[in-house]
Amino acid sequence: MKNSITVKPAPAPRIRLLPALAPPAALLAALVITWQVAVTAGGVQPAILPSPQRIFQQGWEARTAIWENTLPTLHETFLGFAVSLTVAWTLAILIDFSPGLRRALVPLLVASQAIPLIAIAPLMVIWFGFGMLPKVIVIALVTFFPVAVGLIDGFNRTDRDAINLLRSMGANRWKQFVYVRLPSALPSFFTALRIGIAYAVTGAIFAEYVGAERGLGIYMAMMKNSFRTDLVLAAVAVTAFVSVCLFLLTYVAERAIIPWHSKERRSRHG
């Protein structure tokens, strides 16, 4: 039989980054220009609200200090996020295999989100000192929940008919997990990963803010205390930049690990 429908080879996945980045970049530029003009024209005190230009100048002059404080923050972020991912994956898989554990643990996970971190973070300093450990714990605490819930939910949303197909082939619970539940959950894992990573950097800053030896958080706190509003905002800009980079990195990882996902989605939406 001849195939009546010829299929074009799938085009290589092009990262359409530029068209996606242009509108937000343009909006950001407009806001910065407005800010610059307003501050200059209004004669606002730099200690109250410095102009973008001043922030950039002073930030550039303080670049060594900012860079030296960025590195420990990045280090904590990666370590905390790695801990968070490990725990989230382990728990999500255990929960997926044990209905009893699911009933016992999921409500506790949800309740854990009611803990006010703003009260806990200073206690972490009392308990664990000014080093790396309390930061890693805070980052893990804030990022763990979205990732774990994304995974638990992803495993659980697997098509029931797909599970039945696997069962009809004779797949045990473990094979059902490996062949269907795990790959089905990966798209929602990457969504959760993006939410988690957005919290990770701010979590690190927050943990440092209440007490640290080095890092962007404690740098901001010190600059604030010496009324260097411009350097506080320069550090904020660096933080935002790092967050956006990590966020984009998750897309790169997604394309590398589940290339089929974006292709399938595109083919479904024309």
Partner 1 sequence: MVEATPPKIELRGICKSFPLGHGQVRSVLDDVAFSAQPGEFVAVIGPSGCGKSTMFNIMAGLETASSGEVLVDGDVVTGQHEHFAYMPQKDLLFPWRSILENTSLGLEVAGETKKIARARAASLFAAFGLSGFEDAHPFELSGGMRQRAALLRTVVQGRDVLLLDEPFGALDSLTRTEMQSWLQGVWSQNAWTAVLITHDIREAIYLADRVVVLSARPASVRLNLTIDLPRPRALSMTTSAEFAGYERTLLTTLHEETRSSKAP
Q: Diameter of the chain by CA atoms?
A: 80
Specify the stretch interacting with partner 1 by CB under 8 A; choose among 44-52, 119-127, 137-145, 154-162. 154-162
Angle at 138 between CA 123 and CA 211, to 5 degrees: 50
**The one among 10, 33, 47, 82 contacting partner 1 by CB under 8 A:** 10
Under the criterion CB under 8 A, does residue 18 sit at the interface with partner 1? Answer: no
Burial class, 150, CB count within 10 angstroms (exposed 0-12 / middle 13-18 / buried 19+):
buried
Whether 195 and 146 have beta carbons less than 8 Å apart is answered as: yes
Under the criterion CB under 8 A, does residue 162 sit at the interface with partner 1? Answer: yes
Sequence-distant (≥ 6) Cβ neighbours of residue 229 within 8 angstroms: 46, 47, 48, 49, 50, 223
Under the criterion CB under 8 A, does residue 106 sit at the interface with partner 1? Answer: no
* Distance from the Cα of residue 59 to its chain's centroid: 25
Under the criterion CB under 8 A, does residue 258 sit at the interface with partner 1? Answer: yes
Specify the stretch interacting with partner 1 by CB under 8 A; choose among 74-82, 84-92, 168-176, 225-233. 168-176
**The one among 214, 224, 255, 263 contacting partner 1 by CB under 8 A:** 263
Residues 170, 166, 152, 194, CA torsion sign:
positive
Specify the stretch interacting with partner 1 by CB under 8 A; choose among 45-53, 89-97, 156-164, 239-247. 156-164
Under the criterion CB under 8 A, does residue 256 sit at the interface with partner 1? Answer: no
**The one among 15, 82, 94, 159 contacting partner 1 by CB under 8 A:** 159
C-alpha to C-alpha distance for 38 and 52, rounded to whole angstroms: 11
Two structure tokens written together for 136: 């890693």
**The one among 90, 164, 227, 249 contacting partner 1 by CB under 8 A:** 164
C-alpha to C-alpha distance for 73 and 214, rounded to whole angstroms: 8
Specify the stretch interacting with partner 1 by CB under 8 A; choose among 12-20, 54-62, 166-174, 207-215. 166-174
- What is the three-class DSSP state of 4? coil
Under the criterion CB under 8 A, does residue 5 sit at the interface with partner 1? Answer: yes
C-alpha to C-alpha distance for 78 and 203, rounded to whole angstroms: 12
Q: Write out the binding residues for partner 1, residues 170-209 only, by CB under 8 A.
A: 170-171, 175, 179-180, 183, 186
Binding site for partner 1 (CB under 8 A): 1-5, 7, 10, 159, 161-162, 164-171, 175, 179-180, 183, 186, 258, 260-261, 263-264, 267-268
